[in-house]
Structure 1
Amino acid sequence: MDPTTLQNVLSTNLNLLAGAAFKVIAAIILWFIGRKLIDISINITSRTLKTQRIDPTLISYLNSSLAVLLNIILVVAILGYFGVETTSFAALLAAAGVAIGAAWSGLLANFAAGAFLIILRPFQVGDFISAAGITGTVVEIGLFVTIINTSDNVRTIIGNNKLFSENIQNFSANDYRRVDIKVQLDHSVNPSEAIRVIQERIVNIPNVISNPAPVIEILNFTAMGPELAVRPFCNNTHYWQVYYDTNRVIRESFSESGFPTPKQHFQIRQS
C-alpha cells in the first residue's frame, strides 16, 4: 500500500473515530441534561398538583408514572440520535415487553393492583389500616409496593397485589371507633352496682365521646362470676390512650368500692 493510500485510510478512520467519540460524548451530555430536565419537570408537576390540593397518594403515583414515561422517551431520543430506527426500536420494545410481562407477571400484578388502589382509594397516605397481616400507618403507596409503619415503628413493605387481594380494614375512615374491654366480676358482686360505678367514671376519661355513649352490659357468665363488656367510643387517634385509661379507671373504681378479686367457685357433693 502506497503512503498516500495509507494516509487516506488513517485519515478516514480517524474521522470515523472522532465522529463516534463526539456522538458518545454528545449522548452522555444529552442523557444528563435530559435527566435534569425530567427532575425539573417532575418537581414542577408535583408543586402544581399540591397547589390543587390533590391527594398525596395520587401525586406520588403520577410522579412515578411520569418519570418512567419521560425516561423511555429520553432513551428513544438518544437512540434516534445515533441513527437507530425508532420504529424498529418500538417493535423491539413491544416484544421485550411481552417477554418481560411473562417473566415478571407478579411484578405487573403489583403494578395493576397499585393502579386499582389509587382509583378505588380504600385507604390514603396517613390512614391507619390492617391488611395482609400488617397493622400500621400508611406512609407511601408506590407503583409496585405500599409502605406501612407498624405501631412498634417497624417499616414494612407490602406488594400491592397481596395488599389488594386480601381484606383491608381502614380504622381512619370513620369518625370514631369502639374500644372493647372485658371485665370479670366475682359472684358476690352485684353486676348493676359494678356497671353504675364504671359508668360514673368512664364518662370523665379524656377523649371518650358522648355520642354514641359508652356501653356497659353483662356479656357472659363464667365459673368466677358475671363478665361485663365495657365499650367506650373514641377517635382512632386516641384509641390506646382511652383503652389504657379505661382499664386504670376500672381497677381504681373496683378497689375503692371494695369489690373482691374474682375467684373460681366449685361445689363438691358426695353421694
Structure 2
Amino acid sequence: MEAEVISMWDRAMPILTGAALKIAAAFALYMVGRWLISFAINMLSKILTARNFDATLQRYIANILGVVLNILLVVAILGYFGLQTTSFAALLAGVGLAVGAAWSGLLGNFAAGAFLIIFRPYKVGDYVVAGGVEGTVVEIGMFNTVLNTPDNVVSVVGNAKVSGDVIRNFSSNPYRRVERQAQLAFGVNPLDAIAKLTPAVAAIPNVLAEPAPTVEILDFNEMGTLLCVRPYCHTDHYWQVYFDTNKVIAATFAAAGYPPPFVVEREELVPLKK
C-alpha cells in the first residue's frame, strides 16, 4: 500500500511541479504585463502633454488604451495556458453583444462620452451645470463625468444624462453677472440710494470695472421701491462678490439711516348704507 502511494506521488510530482511553474510564470507574465501597460500609458500621457493635448482628451485616450491593453494581456495569459484565443475572442464578442443588449445604457454613456470629447461643451476645471448637477468638472471619463459641487461633494453623472440635458458652462465667458436685489422703504428717495450704493458696490474686491456694476430701479411693490444690484466678476469670485454685495447693501443703507422696509396695509373705506 505504501509503495502504491509513493508511486502515485512520484507520478503526480512532475504534473504538480509543471502546473506550479506554469502558474508562477503566468503570475510573472501578469505582473510584467501590468508594468508594461502602466509604462505605455505614462509614455502616451507624456507624449500628449508634450504636444499640448488637452488634459481631458489625455485622460480619455489613456482610459481607452488601458482597457484595450488589459484585454490583450488576459488573452495572452489564457493563450499561455493553452486555451484557444480565437475561441476566446469569439466568446468575448458574444458576451460583449449580450452585455451590450442588457446594458445599453452603459454603451449610451460611452458613446455620449465620445461626443463630449469631440464637441467639447466643457473641459476639466470648468464650472458647469451638467445633468442637473452644478459644480466644477473634475474628470470626464469614458462613461461618466465627475463634478465637485460647491458644498465639496463629489457627484458622478452619466454622460448620457449630461448630453441629453441642458449644459450651462459658467467658465466659457470671461465674466458673469451677480444678481442681487435691495428693498427700499416708502419715503426713501431711490435716486439717492442708487447714488450711494453704486460706488460702494464698485469698491467690492474682484468686482470688474468693465463692465461697470449697475444699480437700477427694478420695480415698485407694497413695501416701496425695489432696486436691482448687478456687479460683474470672474466665475472664481462669484460667491465672494455675491455675499460681499449683500453686506455692502446692508452697510450702505444703515449708514444712510434708511428705515427698514415694511408692508403698508391699506384699509378700504366702505360707504355706509342709508
> Partners of 2:246 and 2:28 in 1: how far apart?
66
Q: Secondary structure at the match of 1:161?
A: helix
Structure 2: gaps spanning 5 or more residues: none
Equivalent residue for 1:41?
40
Equivalent residue for 2:205?
206
Q: Secondary structure at the match of 1:218?
A: strand
- Say yes or no: does 1:125 pair with 2:124: yes
* Cα deviation 1:161-219 (Å, max 9, x = unaligned): 22221111111111000000011111211111111111122221111112212122111
Task: Tell me the CA shift for residue 17 of structure 1.
Answer: 4.8
1:130-209 aligned at under 5 Å gives the runs: 130-209=129-208
Equivalent residue for 1:22?
21
Equivalent residue for 1:239?
238
Task: Tell me the CA shift for residue 262 of structure 1.
Answer: 0.9
- Say yes or no: does 1:68 pair with 2:62: no
Q: Secondary structure at the match of 1:122?
A: coil
Equivalent residue for 1:113?
112
The 4+ residue runs of structure 1 with deviation greater than 6 A are: 9-13
Q: Secondary structure at the match of 2:173?
A: coil
> Partners of 1:63 and 1:87 in 2: how far apart?
26
* Cα deviation 1:5-47 (Å, max 9, x = unaligned): xx8x998765555444433332222111111111111112122
* Cα deviation 1:78-134 (Å, max 9, x = unaligned): 222233332222221111110110121122212112111111111111111112232
> Partners of 1:252 and 1:58 in 2: how far apart?
48
Query: TM-score with structure 2 length normalisation?
Result: 0.89
The amino acid that maps onto 1:246 is T
Q: Secondary structure at the match of 1:200?
A: helix
Equivalent residue for 1:95?
94
Q: Secondary structure at the match of 1:248?
A: helix
Task: Tell me the CA shift for residue 266 of structure 1.
Answer: 2.4
* Cα deviation 1:125-154 (Å, max 9, x = unaligned): 111111223211111111222211111111
> Partners of 1:124 and 1:168 in 2: how far apart?
12
- Say yes or no: does 1:57 pair with 2:56: yes
Structure 1: gaps spanning 5 or more residues: none
* Cα deviation 1:221-243 (Å, max 9, x = unaligned): 21111211111111111111111
The amino acid that maps onto 2:134 is T
> Partners of 1:162 and 1:118 in 2: how far apart?
15
Task: Tell me the CA shift for residue 66 of structure 1.
Answer: 0.6
Equivalent residue for 2:261?
262
- Say yes or no: does 1:253 pair with 2:252: yes
> Partners of 1:70 and 1:190 in 2: how far apart?
73
The amino acid that maps onto 2:24 is I
> Partners of 1:249 and 1:19 in 2: how far apart?
81
Equivalent residue for 1:77?
76
The amino acid that maps onto 1:38 is I
* Cα deviation 1:241-270 (Å, max 9, x = unaligned): 111121111112111222111111123224
> Partners of 2:108 and 2:11 in 1: how far apart?
53
The size of the alignment, in residue pairs, is 266
State the identity as a percent. 52
